[in-house]
Amino acid sequence: MRIGIPDEAPETRAAATPATVTALLTLGYDVVVQAGAGARSSFPDHAYRDAGAAIGTADDVWSSDVVAMVGEPSPAQQALMRPGQVLIGFLHPRSDPALIEALAARGVTALSMDMVPRISRAQSLDALSSMANIAGYRAVIEAGHAFGRFFTGQVTAAGKVPPAKVFVIGTGVAGLAAIGAAGGLGAEVTATDVRPETAEQVESMGAKFVKVAEVEEVRSSDGYARDTSADYAAKAAELYARQAATVDIIITTAAIPGRPSPKLITAEMVESMRPGSVIVDLAAAGGGNCVLTRPGETYTTDGGVTIVGYTDLASRLPGQASQLYGTNIVNLLKLLTPDKDGELRLDFDDVVHRQMTVVRDGEVTFPPPPIEVSVAPAAAAAPAPVAIPTAAAPPDQWARFRMVLMLVAGWLLLSLLLPGGFLSSILVFGLAMVVGYYVIWGVEPALYTPLMSVSNAVSGITIVGAITQLTSPLLSVQIIAFVAIVLAGINCVGGFAITNRMLAMFKRS
C-alpha cells in the first residue's frame, strides 16, 4: 500500500518528516510526498527523496491507498478521494459533523487523531498530547515576547529585579509544559487544576500548587476535561481574581473537546492586572478562557494588558511539531500493520482502532462506545429502600451473628488441633492480607499510570514483608527474603525511573 503526504498550505506542519518516512518504509509501505509539503517545516523535497520517499503531485498523493495529513481535507481535496481510501488526520468529529458526513459520502475510512483514547497503550500515538506539549512551551515564549521584562530575578548594580510571576490554569500536558518552560526561565510559577491529585506533579517541577478550597474533586472518566460544578466555578473564580491582581502572566489551558471553552477570566479580573501583564489563552480555538480573548489575534487592552489568542501555537514551531506528529502517525500505523507487510488492518475488537475510526467504508461510526479510563472510583449506587424494622432483630443481623459465632468456633477448634506456632502464622498471614489490601489500593496514582502505581505499591509492601523475615533462624527463609527484596526493589526503582523520564519531558535539561 502507498501512503500519501499532502501539502496543506497555509498549515506549516507536515504529517511526515524524512525521519518518519524511513520508519514508514520499514513497515512495508511506499510513501509519496507532495512537492513542497515540508518546506514550511524546514524539510526540503530532497531530504524526503534521500529518505526513500517519492516526490509527486497532489493527484499522486490523493490517489494513494492511505492519506495522512495534519488538518481537515478541503472540499477540493475531498473531491479527489475515492471509495476504499483511508484518511488519517485531525478531523474534529465532535465539532464538525458535516465533514464526517461528507467523508462517509465519499465511501472512505477515516481515523481521527483527536480521538485517541487516553489509555497507557495509546500514549505513543496521542497527537493531542504531542501538540499540547508544544503549545504549552510556545505559550511561554509568546508571553515572554509580550511581557517586555525578565522572567528570572536578578541583582544588579542598578538594583534588584524581581522574578516574573506566572499563574497556570490547568495542569494537563500543555500546563505542565508551560510550567517547565516558565520555571526554566526563572519565573516564580503557581498553578491550579480541577484535579487536586496533580499537585504532586506541579510541585515536583518546582512550582507551587494552589488548590480551590472545600470543593468536591472533579474527575474525568475518559481522560479528557469535563465541565465543573457551579460551586467549584464560583470558588475557583475567587482564586483566579486573587491571582490576577498579583501575577504578571496568566496562561490558561482549559479546553473541553467539542464544547466551547469555559470562561474563567472575567473582564474585571483583566482590569485588576497591572499594566504590562500578559494573558496567553491556549483555549482560544474554542472561544477562549478569557471573556476578552479574540481568537487568532493578539492585542492590548486599554488597561495595558496584552491578551494572546493565537489558535496555532503548535504550528509556530513547525519543525518540532511535524516531527512529533509524524512519530504519532508512525506509531498508529505500527498498530494498524502488525505484520509489517504494508497492509493496513482495521480491527474493531481493538479499542484504539474503534475509538479513532469515525467513518468505515462509508459508514459513520462516530461516536464510539464509551471507554472508562479514569482511576476514579465508580460512583456508589443509590441505596435501595429499606423496610421499617420491627421489634425483632432483622434477619441480616442474625446472619452476621451466626457468621461471627462460626468463625469464633472454628478458631477455637484450630487452636486445639494445631500447634501454637502454626496458629500464630495463620493469624499474621490474615492480618497481612488485610493490611496489604488497604495499603496497595490506597495509593493515589498521581504520577504514574494506574497499573504502575499498583505494581509499585505491591513491590513496596513485598519489601516490607521480606525485611521482617531477614531475622528468621532458617537460612532458606533468609535467602528467599533477600531475593524478594532485590526483585521488588528493581521494580520500584524502575517505576520511579519511568516517572522521572515522563516528568523530564517538561523540564529544561
Give catalytic residue positions: 118, 123, 126, 129, 224
**Would you call 225 exposed, middle or buried from its count of C-beta atoms within 10 A (0-12, 13-18, 19+)?**
buried
- Write the DSSP symbol of residue 388: P
CB 221 within 8 A of CB 373: yes
Instruction: Kindly give the pairing relationship between strand 306-308 and strand 298-300.
Output: antiparallel
Grouping H, G, I as helix, E, B as strand and the rest as coil, residue 4 is strand
CB-facing half-sphere around the CA of 116: CA atoms within 13 A: 24
DSSP per-residue letters across 24-49: HHHTT-EEEEETTTTGGGT--HHHHH
User: Which helix H or strand E contains 299, and what residues bound it?
Assistant: strand 298-300
Residue whose C-alpha cell reads 459520502 in the numeric block: 105
Kindly state the helix (H) or strand (E) to which residue 508 belongs, with its residue range: none
Per residue in 368-382, is it b (16+ CB within 10 Å) or e — as a string?
Answer: beeeebebeeeeeee
How far is 34 from 21, CA to CA, in rounded Å? 13
Instruction: Please state, in angstroms and rounded to a whole number, the distance separating the CA atoms of residues 289 and 260.
Output: 9
Sign of CA dihedral 181, 186, 187, 188: positive
With residue 84 as reference, give the H or E element that holds it: none
